[in-house]
A and B are shown apart, each in its own frame.
Chain A
């Protein structure tokens, strides 16, 4: 009886093993798309294995197109122009592309599967984007919900970026969170120290990455970042400058100010920082030191909800009513804004009413 059972089990195992082997062979035979060529900007040609997404294939070749959702087709950040190949547009892409982008053959790199040779166009700045291994060199509590995290770069150990750009930070699994996610944060340090960079990260309720940073990230821990990304940076002109930010929107402005200090840029600049109460103010003394080190700079924190017991002596309400005192020639003034879409809309409207040309208003919007 036992022999019979053993025999049946052996036969069943052999049949299952056979099927498994057949599946592996079939997968090798039928899902092997072969090698294909990716032509980038007509200048560079890569040979990659077919069947993968364009985003991942480029990433494997150390070309990092921005992606905030890790290739799930939900953020719409990995847009690139495809001039040949790429297959038909997928229903997952259409809601994330405008009519003009659709007409211009813009696609989401995470949704394009490589099944033929392909020609793409991407900004040259993307070639400067790298994946960095780094350790946590410093964690500073700026407010009750905002931390400054300094990363010591290990591999590669240097970075070149423009003040105002951002990085993407990759989380690690932690209790209650099995998978990695990637999130974007502005660099808050200046580009002078090419071995280190700092990000300012505010805790978001239910936020996967910010919870990891605030509750689990440890000093000396190894992490991965990619970047630099973005086109929010100080334009090389002599125009006066108005900066406006709130909350963690301070990060790119801090980076730009540190860069202006290092380069000795003498432009007149006024920085309006909007916050609710004194509890939301941070780096105030550091910002005020730029009033000494820069040629013509003013830092103007404005509180909207200061309580009498806070004894706040500074400006109150919205930041917009204070713009008129900072603008001497609107046609020769640039504005740099970082914050929520509501803040960007309200401030942009006000700046245009003050005569600042719309094409001189640059912003890094959270939304």
Chain B
């Protein structure tokens, strides 16, 4: 597959050791376009859009963000906590700006499942429909997100 200069730049920025230690692709051999397309298809089959997923994630992050680094309870189902460290990360898609090094950890107590996402995850899902490659430390499976968040 031939890549445009911008796609080449994005692919390079997604590699391990460029923007983050492990990169955004994990051990997934697919091109990022393929990852995005397959995840979009999975979500469509589940009746959700990446924007709806991102909106739900943002809701939990916002609630826990102002809680003095404490775990909060939401709707008697979710336990949510956001940890922030110093600094910002750029978007591998070359979107301008930086994204807080904040990680939200959410447990759905009904299901007993815990997931986590970073501010950059949230941005990449909302703006680029990118859930990261399989094997990436911050990969979020669309099926799991739908199951846990709604």
Contact = CB atoms under 8 A, between A and B. Distances in A.
A318 B137 contact: no
Given A204-B101, A206-B137, A274-B68, A95 B21 contact: no
Contact of A74 (B70, B84, B98, B138): B98
Contact of B69 (A75, A320, A340): A340
B88 A75 contact: yes
A95 B138 CA distance: 25
B100 A367 contact: yes
B97 A76 contact: yes
A88 interface: no
Contacts of B66: 342, 345-346
A234 interface: no
A318 B68 contact: yes
Contacts of B69: 246, 274, 339-340, 342-343
A159 B53 CA distance: 50
A346 B72 CA distance: 14
A142 B138 CA distance: 28
Given A75-B98, A96-B96, A207 B85 contact: yes
Contacts, number: 100
Bin the interface of chain A by size: 35 or more
Interface stretch (B12-20, B28-36, B44-52, B141-149): B12-20
Interface string B73-105: 000000000111111111000001110111100
Interface in A235-284: 246, 248, 274
A342 B85 CA distance: 11
Given A176-B17, A176-B21, A342-B69, A94 B85 contact: no
Given A176-B16, A246-B69, A366-B84, A211 B96 contact: no
Interface of B: 16-18, 20-22, 64-70, 82-90, 96-98, 100-103, 137-138
Closest 4 CB pairs of A and B: A74-B90, A340-B84, A346-B68, A366-B86
28 contacts: A68-B87, A69-B88, A72-B90, A73-B96, A74-B89, A74-B90, A74-B98, A75-B88, A75-B98, A76-B98, A96-B96, A176-B17, A176-B21, A177-B21, A179-B18, A202-B85, A206-B22, A207-B21, A207-B101, A248-B85, A318-B70, A339-B69, A342-B66, A342-B82, A346-B67, A346-B68, A366-B84, A366-B86
Interface of A: 68-69, 72-76, 91-96, 176-179, 183-185, 202, 204-208, 211, 246, 248, 274, 304, 318, 320, 339-343, 345-347, 366-367
